[in-house]
Amino acid sequence: MPVTVRTFATYSEAAAVLSSDRAARYLGGGTLVMRALNEGDISISTVVRASDHILKRIEATGPRVTIGAGVTFAQILSHRDLAFLHAAARSIGGPAVRNMGTVGGNLFAPNPYGDFTVALLALDATVAAQGGLGARDMPIEEFLQSRERQAGQLVLSISCQRPASPDAFRYRKVTRIRPKGGSVITIAAHLPMSGGRVVGARIALGSMAATQIRAKAAERALEGRPLDASTIAAAAAAAVEGASPANNALGSSWYRREIVGVHLRRLLSGQE
């Protein structure tokens, strides 16, 4: 069924339409919205776009990194200053999907997708969005918890603190086939160290609940401790706490519960 396509020069015009029309959906890279249209999703009657260059901007020179919602994974991969996000960006789709899919769209990608968002969740990212009541910044965790209600907002950018060292941020997407496959489990770990101890640990999981979640029990097991074998074992044992894993063709809920600790242990101990 044909839909109305509305393209605006500025993000604020696009945001105004999104917030006032329930059947309007913002089109980023197309990997979610065009797919829905191809499947005959009748809940979408208007497709909104914005050609605003602000949505494509990357600010990555300082300790805090801001990425426009319309930035593609290919653009992240070609940006040297975003090396800490390259593993997560490379794990998305094949080359065509990386040329199309955007950072902002990934926030809305349901299981088994949304791997990049797992990395952003472990980095305590902030989501800047424009809604009917104006612009606001929201912690990514809060954004994800209320994701169903965020469709009327236009995400403008995502920002996060750059990890102190390459080793302080780790990412792993467990798939059945390589190099490309849907996520069985996706894990990101931010492990800031201070005086040989982990301070402010963040563990984020994909495919372990309806949206990406933090493994807070595992974070507590790491907090204030050196990253040694016994700490890692305790975190791995706690990884499944609070999870309600996806049950799909890529893996059963039971299987995900069984292996999440194994892969977290490997990630934390630096094993392949």
Q: Which of 179, 195, 271, 272 binds another protein (CB under 8 A)?
A: 179
What is the enclosing helix (H) or strand (E) of 129? strand 126-131
Rounded Cα–Cα distance for residues 69 and 117 (Å): 12
Question: How distant, in Å, are the alpha carbons of 83, 88, 261 from that of 167?
Answer: 12, 14, 20
Rounded Cα–Cα distance for residues 205 and 57 (Å): 27
Cβ(237)–Cβ(208) under 8 Å? Answer: no
Q: Binding marks (x or -) toward another protein, 35..74, rule CB under 8 A?
A: x-xxx-------x-x------------------------x
Q: Tell me the number of residues near another protein by CB under 8 A.
A: 27
Nearest to 242 by CA among 209, 207, 203: 209
Q: Binding marks (x or -) toward another protein, 100..129, rule CB under 8 A?
A: x-----------------------------
Q: Which of 27, 204, 232, 264 binds another protein (CB under 8 A)?
A: 27
Least CB distance to another protein at residue 90 (A): 9
Q: Which of 34, 60, 151, 168 binds another protein (CB under 8 A)?
A: 34
Question: Could you say which residues in the range 69-98 bind another protein, by CB under 8 A?
Answer: 74, 93-97
Nearest to 82 by CA among 91, 95, 73: 73
Q: Does 272 bind another protein (CB under 8 A)?
A: no
Q: Which is nearer to another protein, 38 or 61 (CB)?
A: 38
Rounded Cα–Cα distance for residues 53 and 113 (Å): 26
Footprint of another protein (CB under 8 A): 1-5, 7, 27, 29-31, 34-35, 37-39, 47, 49, 74, 93-97, 99-100, 179-180
